[in-house]
Amino acid sequence: MHKIYPKHPGMKLKIFTLIILTSITFFSCTNKKKDKEVPEVVAIEEKFEEFHPEEFKAEANITPRDYSIDTTNSYSRIFFDSSSLVKYLVDNKIDASVGSRMISFYNARNYQFSWFSKDGPTEQARGFWNMHSYLTTYANGKSLIDSVLQKRMDNYVADDDTATRWTSRDPVLLNTELKMTHHYIMFALLNYDKGFVERKELESFIPVRKQHPDSLVSNLLDAENQDKKYYEGVNPSYKKLKEQLVKYVEIQKNGGWPKLSVNAKEFASADTSKQIAILKEHLFITGDLAVNDSTEFFNEELDSAVRKFQVRHGYKPTGKLTDNQIKDLNVPVEKRISQILINLSRTQWLVSEPEGKLITVNIPEFILHVKDGKTKVFDMVVVVGKQGSKTTMFTGNLNTVVFSPYWNVPYSISKKEIAPGIARSGNAYLARQNMEVVGSWGNGIPRVRQKPGGNNSLGRVKFLFPNSYDIYFHDTPSKGLFKNDKRAYSHGCIRLSEPAKMANYLLQSDTSWNAGKIDSAMHLNKEKYVRIKPAVPVLITYYTAWVDDEGLLHFADDIYGHDKDLTAKMFKK
């Protein structure tokens, strides 16, 4: 593997600034196209050719500007005047190594926003910000610490509002866009200097224009296309999912799979039918059924194949199909290919897994996984945030267990539920809820907390991994929801079905704790904080297509509509 992004400590900032300042006079805000946000400008790289300083020879590989990209085919549909980039580079005294890459990056996009679209932060923004935050918080990323950017991005990522502020005319948003790209390049210089990502490839991690899924597939699977070859070697998740893409493209070439025309009730009542033969054909094509069996009997082999299909699609393996499962069976192979493409894009922003202990939750899967290196320790059913109070994707370090926790009631719930309850029943309402007033939010809204106990909304224990979104793991008194296949019900935090098991696992190396002491700590009348040393990394992801450790391809429902949003941005109709 050859190295990329070589560092050039001898570069002279004043030469780069001279080039930029000279170049800025050549930029024009006039526009011959219909969209006023896509200006015609003189390419900035032309100015580099006039100077040819030795310091810039290694930086001259700048991507030509692609004027074919406009609002009709672009990914984000927001553009800015390239003179804004020049101003940013000069005002912030960006050196040539980073500045030339930023120019190249935006030339490839025709100065289209990369981190924001008309409806807010893109998935790539969320993915990169997760990696950035983890690096600056837990790893060696002090050079990337920027408190202003941190505050802005945390607010943007946590805000689902689709207000009209998502426009290049917002100077704060434009500055955040350019600063994100600045940090993206610096992140690459810090972390991608082992040679597995090419400069051009890094530019393509964020989609530039809409394409037909078939074109994306052709580009990815072209034998002569060397893009991502190095990347696949260090990202097993990407490599395994791409291998499944090859399989599904072959299924598409062979005509896909047959469609079932009956409902679950008819399946259950039939000992034999042509639809059973069709079901066998489908499951053989997808690899769930090992032997190509065209008989019309529901036999033991088919029962096993159905169970395998159910596991891969997030259902309990009962062997009996439901109407929703038949709908999943009837999803066309073309849609599954698009789903794989979307999730391939997501895996490019996956934080590298540590070698030791790791806790992961894939939100649409509704399962928590605990691993120690490559060894699976246990899995656990969880409840995640519902639509409207989504669980945020991020990476953190679990460092604290809180036994018998208080629940500090959020303002929104205090306003909508607690204040009216107190108005109706006074202290009697608080007593029934085992709550106490600890202050005021203002405007007559009390600040309330729920005391430790069996009916506490957080249950008897919670697990903290500091983050900007106030998300954590916790117990719950509402155990019935864990029985459901699809479990998006919480206000954003993640509820654990077996919290005592998690507590015992995290404290197993601490000889001062045992199962009995943990159980007692979960039944106190006051909080007890216990630090976890060393902290355990926690990875919260959102994948609707992924390959597990056994090589099985899984699909999940797009519970938050992220796939739908990406489909509109990435694919031509």
Residue bearing the bigger pLDDT, 138 or 18: 138
Query: Residues 132, 66: one domain?
Result: yes
- pLDDT band at residue 252, thresholds of 50, 70 and 90? very high
Q: Are 501 and 479 in contact (CB under 8 A)?
A: no
In a domain, 563, yes or no: no
In a domain, 218, yes or no: no
- The predicted pLDDT at position 324 comes to 94
Is the pLDDT score of 554 beyond 50?
yes
| C-alpha torsion angle, residues 196, 202, 206, 210 (rounded to 10) | -100
Q: What is the mean pLDDT of residues 460-484?
A: 91
Q: What is the mean pLDDT of residues 189-202?
A: 60
Those residues whose C-beta lies under 8 Å from the C-beta of residue 517, and which sit 6 or more positions away, are none
| Full domain range(s) for residue 17 | 13-208
Query: What are the distances in angstroms from CA 259 to CA 153, 279, 295, 331, 540?
Result: 45, 8, 17, 9, 35
Range in 325-339, 396-410, 465-479 with the lowest mean pLDDT: 465-479
- The predicted pLDDT at position 36 comes to 42
pLDDT in tens, 66-119: 999 998 999 888 999 988 998 898 888 888 878 888 998 999 999 999 999 888
In a domain, 471, yes or no: yes
- pLDDT band at residue 43, thresholds of 50, 70 and 90? very low
Is the pLDDT score of 39 beyond 50?
no
Residue bearing the bigger pLDDT, 34 or 30: 34
Query: Residues 187, 273: one domain?
Result: no
Query: Residues 363, 327: one domain?
Result: no
**CATH at residue 293:** 1.10.101
In a domain, 418, yes or no: yes
In a domain, 233, yes or no: no
Query: Residues 437, 494: one domain?
Result: no
Is the pLDDT score of 303 beyond 80?
yes
Residue bearing the bigger pLDDT, 100 or 226: 100
Q: Is 422 helix (H, G, I), strand (E, B) or coil?
A: helix
Query: Residues 524, 386: one domain?
Result: yes
Q: Is 214 helix (H, G, I), strand (E, B) or coil?
A: helix
Query: Residues 117, 178: one domain?
Result: yes
In a domain, 338, yes or no: no
- The predicted pLDDT at position 191 comes to 67
- The predicted pLDDT at position 564 comes to 92
Please identify which residue in the block is written with the tokens 């029934």: 432
Is the pLDDT score of 434 beyond 80?
yes
**Beta-ladder partners of 528:** 403
- The predicted pLDDT at position 42 comes to 42
- The predicted pLDDT at position 62 comes to 81
Query: Residues 441, 462: one domain?
Result: no
- The predicted pLDDT at position 204 comes to 74
Q: What is the mean pLDDT of residues 277-300?
A: 93
- The predicted pLDDT at position 233 comes to 66
Query: Residues 387, 529: one domain?
Result: yes
Query: Residues 111, 124: one domain?
Result: yes
- pLDDT band at residue 159, thresholds of 50, 70 and 90? low
- pLDDT band at residue 52, thresholds of 50, 70 and 90? very low
- The predicted pLDDT at position 422 comes to 92
Query: Residues 426, 468: one domain?
Result: no
Query: Residues 268, 280: one domain?
Result: yes
- In angstroms, rounded to a whole number, what is the distance separating the alpha carbons of residues 394 and 386? 17
- pLDDT band at residue 3, thresholds of 50, 70 and 90? very low
Q: Are 183 and 132 in contact (CB under 8 A)?
A: yes
pTM of the model: 0.84
Closest CA relative to residue 447, chosen from 423, 412, 492, 471: 412
Is the pLDDT score of 11 beyond 60?
no
Q: Is 537 helix (H, G, I), strand (E, B) or coil?
A: strand
Q: Are 275 and 260 in contact (CB under 8 A)?
A: yes
Query: Residues 190, 327: one domain?
Result: no
Q: What is the mean pLDDT of residues 215-222?
A: 84
* Side-chain-side CA neighbours of residue 228 (13 Å): 20
In a domain, 224, yes or no: no
**CATH at residue 467:** 2.40.440.10
pLDDT in tens, 491-505: 889 999 999 999 999
Is the pLDDT score of 55 beyond 60?
no
In a domain, 554, yes or no: no
**Beta-ladder partners of 369:** 360, 379
The domain tally of the chain equals 4
Q: What is the mean pLDDT of residues 309-328?
A: 95
- The predicted pLDDT at position 555 comes to 97
Q: Are 463 and 502 in contact (CB under 8 A)?
A: yes
Closest CA relative to residue 45, chosen from 106, 114, 115, 109: 106
